[in-house]
């Protein structure tokens, strides 16, 4: 469990650096949002590691606290990405093409679902709803990767600048939905 968590956290930090750097350079809220999601995923991974250390192992209260911390991270993604996407649309700020972002999204789109499946299976085996919700956050990264490919690709190939902030709004909606479910304790693991 610990090796999977540490490897995932390390990847998310690298993903964050690449996405935010490329997003700022291109003026892409979808790419910066993707980077923000990566950092929040790393923090959610740390929450799960925290959950499985010391006296917290097997504690229902610690499990619920971890699940709520993960929910808060979903809300943070939704708020930031949603506000920035609306600002981009209203100001008609045209992001530049980001081939680095397209390459990153093309890599993460097929790999994040595999990581989410591994985390979800582990969460079910450990009977940890927080771990399952953290896997849902990794699945959100997969959705964001596909949306990012579409948005960045439409901007780069067709000049549709508005595809970038619309993509970001769709991801903000999914993050809000996941956050509500996690806060309420819904979507618990299969075995719980």
pLDDT band at 50 (very low <50, low <70, confident <90, very high): confident
Domain that holds residue 179: 2-184
Is residue 178 in some structural domain?
yes
Report the domain count for the chain: 1
pLDDT in tens, 134-189: 787 788 788 888 888 998 999 999 999 998 888 889 878 888 987 898 788 765 44
Asked if 95 and 27 count as a contact pair (C-beta separation under 8 A), the reply is: yes
The three-state (H, E, C) secondary structure of the chain, written as one string: CHHHHHHHHHHHHHHHHHHHHHHHHHCCHHHHHHHHHHHHHHHHHHHHHHHCCHHHCCCHHHHHHHHHHHHHHHHHHHHHHHHHHHHHHHHCCCCCCCHHHHHHHHHHHHHHHHHHHHHHHHHHHHCCHHHHHHHHHHHHHHHHHHHHHHHHHHHHHHCCCCHHHHHHHHHHHHHHHHHHHHHHCCCCCCCC
pLDDT on residue 80: 85
Is residue 17 in some structural domain?
yes
Query: Which has the higher per-residue pLDDT, 44 or 55?
Result: 44
Is residue 82 in some structural domain?
yes
pLDDT on residue 57: 66
Query: Which has the higher per-residue pLDDT, 99 or 185?
Result: 99
Is residue 119 in some structural domain?
yes
Whole-Å CA distances, 21 to 26, 101, 128, 148, 192: 9, 9, 34, 15, 40
Is residue 191 in some structural domain?
no
pLDDT of 133 > 50? The answer is: yes
Go through the chain and tell me how many residues it has.
Answer: 192
Q: Copy the structure tokens of residue 86.
A: 């609306």
pLDDT of 191 > 60? The answer is: no
Whether pTM > 0.85 for this model: the answer is no
pLDDT on residue 158: 94
Mean pLDDT along residues 35-39: 85
Please name which of 80, 50, 75, 78 lies closest in space to residue 65, comparing C-alpha atoms: 50
Whichever domain contains 180, its CATH number is 1.20.1510
pLDDT in tens, 52-96: 777 766 677 877 787 788 788 889 888 988 998 898 899 988 888
pLDDT of 49 > 90? The answer is: no
């Amino acid at each position: 469990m610990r090796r999977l968590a540490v490897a995932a956290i390390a990847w998310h930090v690298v993903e964050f650096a690449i996405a935010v750097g490329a997003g700022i350079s291109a003026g892409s809220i979808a790419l910066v949002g993707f980077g923000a999601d990566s950092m929040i995923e790393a923090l959610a991974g740390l929450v799960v590691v925290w959950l499985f250390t010391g006296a917290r192992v097997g504690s229902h209260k610690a499990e619920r606290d971890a699940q709520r911390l993960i929910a808060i991270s979903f809300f943070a993604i939704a708020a930031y990405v949603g506000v920035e996407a609306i600002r981009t649309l209203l100001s008609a700020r045209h992001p530049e093409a980001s081939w680095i972002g397209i390459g990153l999204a093309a890599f993460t789109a097929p790999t994040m679902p595999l990581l989410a499946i591994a985390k979800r299976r582990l969460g079910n085996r450990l009977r940890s709803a927080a771990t399952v919700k953290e896997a849902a956050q990794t699945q959100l990264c997969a959705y964001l990767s596909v949306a990012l490919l579409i948005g960045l690709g439409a901007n780069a190939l067709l000049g549709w600048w508005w595809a970038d902030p619309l993509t970001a709004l769709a991801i903000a909606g999914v993050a809000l939905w996941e956050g509500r479910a996690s806060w309420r304790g819904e979507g618990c693991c299969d075995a719980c």
